[in-house]
Amino acid sequence: MKTYRKEIWFDTPHRRDFINITSQVEQCLAESGVKEGLCLVNAMHITASVFINDDESGLHHDFEVWLEKLAPEKPYSQYRHNNSREGCCAGEDNADAHLKRTIMGREVVVAITKGKLDFGPWEQIFYGEFDGRRKKRVLVKIIGE
């Protein structure tokens, strides 16, 4: 069995962003030499997401509006996480980012067949950032042969 691991780093200029990382994952797959197996791609941070959907800017706008409706950023005071004084969370304002990432998902698992990501016609992998303007990363782990 072969295994492969790589981190992909981000530092988005905005609080929220969607970034197509399909070609970077394909490059990982090429480097791995795996022809048949599984590819896990997950956010390593709990206010970010990895998901599969369409690379269409209108849809990404719809996601932004929809997530703000389901889990609004403001007022910050509506979330106890933002008012907590314990440990990591003193002075946080990112409770909504934890909720938005929960909707969008932490990870995807993609089949590898004949050395390719085994995708349907419109499937693309995205990094979803919900609390950006800092360095964060995604893990790519591949197993197979």
Q: Which residues bind a second copy (CB under 8 A)?
A: 1, 3, 5, 36-38, 40, 42-46, 51-54, 56-59, 61-63, 66, 70-71, 79-84, 86-89, 95, 98-99, 102-111, 113, 118-123, 137, 139, 141, 143-145
Which CB sits closer to a second copy, 15 or 106?
106
CA dist 104 and 127 (Å) reads 10
Query: Which stretches of 80-127 are DSSP H helices?
Result: 80-83, 95-104
- Residue 72, burial from CB neighbour count under 10 angstroms (0-12, 13-18, 19+): middle
- Smallest distance from a second copy to CB 30, Å: 18
Q: Please, which residue, 30 or 70, has the CB nearer to a second copy?
A: 70
Q: Which residue, among 144, 142, 107, has the nearest Cα to 5 in the 3D structure?
A: 142
Is the Cβ–Cβ distance between 9 and 136 less than 8 Å?
yes
Comparing CB distances to a second copy, the nearer of 27 and 84 is: 84
Closest approach, Cβ 144 to a second copy, in A, equals 7
Judged by beta carbon, residue 27 or residue 82, the one nearer a second copy is 82
CA atoms within 13 A on the CB side of 97: 19
CB of 109 vs a second copy, minimal distance in Å: 5
Shortest spacing between CB 139 and a second copy, in angstroms: 6
Q: How far apart are CA 144 and CA 6, in angstroms?
A: 15
